[in-house]
Structure 1
């Protein structure tokens, strides 16, 4: 499968069997699928999304939003459970307003699911980790 490193934007090819085994970027050596939520921004979002064969869950959030902040531990738990099967990323809509506009984000938090770079579904409002996992199915 193809994965683009969120740190250096290098495209990597990872055998599917190795997806859950902490594969590293061939260029910078950082872990590609750590089971953690990855912070992205306008400068690296498109490269990471376009270069990934995995489904991507995007959390559009803002630091001033209580419900968005409350979702942080839930997203972390979901990311650990989806390790190697999906990539969870966060976009701060305050520091990446062009992405928020591009995806027509009207409320925070908003979760969008991307497959092949295209949005396939979205949901607004805070979710618990089991709800996130079920929604990703």
Structure 2
């Protein structure tokens, strides 16, 4: 983090962007591809996108490691989506399909689904396994960010 600016990685083109912290709620766009840098919906990430966000992005990143065959993952998906809409622009919400990207699942030692992992500056600071409600997700984030 530099001054009152944050470095945000565009989830679409992986360009790094400098955004004033005070302007996060204004819907900043990428300087290169012009797409929105932040979303009120969870980002569906591939392995390369997760790696780019982990290495350079300065916002806390909450990742839902899931799989399509996982009943509890499907059960939690609406709560995760609602929590993303309510959390505001200070935390990125993302989903990574562990079946499609097993290398990232192994790298992060995902052993149970669903698993939520919270990262700040590329370092995991908290992890929780199992289904959580929208309010549980939001409360859990507040205890760590």
Into which bin does the TM-score normalised by the smaller protein fall?
over 0.9
| Residue 34 (1) aligns with residue 39 (2) | yes
TM-score scaled to structure 1, two decimals?
0.96
> What is the root-mean-square deviation of aligned Cα atoms in Å?
0.9
How far apart, CA to CA, are the structure 1 residues paired with 2:139 and 2:68? 26
Find the aligned partners of 2:20 and 2:69 in 1 and give their Cα distance: 40
Maintained 8 Å contact 1:33/1:83: no
1:120 to 125, 133, 138: 125
CA distance in 1, matches of 2:57, 2:88: 14
Looking at structure 1, the residues matched to 55 and 40 of structure 2 have their Cα atoms a distance apart, in angstroms, of: 20
Richer in helix (by share) = 2
Superposed CA offset, 1:4-47 (max 9, x none): 01100000111111111211111111111121100111122111
Name 1:71's counterpart in structure 2. 76
Report the TM-score, using the length of structure 2 for normalisation: 0.91
Matches within 5 A, 1:43-122: 43-122=48-127
Give the aligned length: 137
Candidates 19, 25, 43, aligned match of 2:30: 25
| 1:111 counterpart SS class | strand
Could you say what secondary structure the match of 2:105 adopts?
helix
Task: List alignment gaps of at least 5 residues for structure 1.
Answer: none
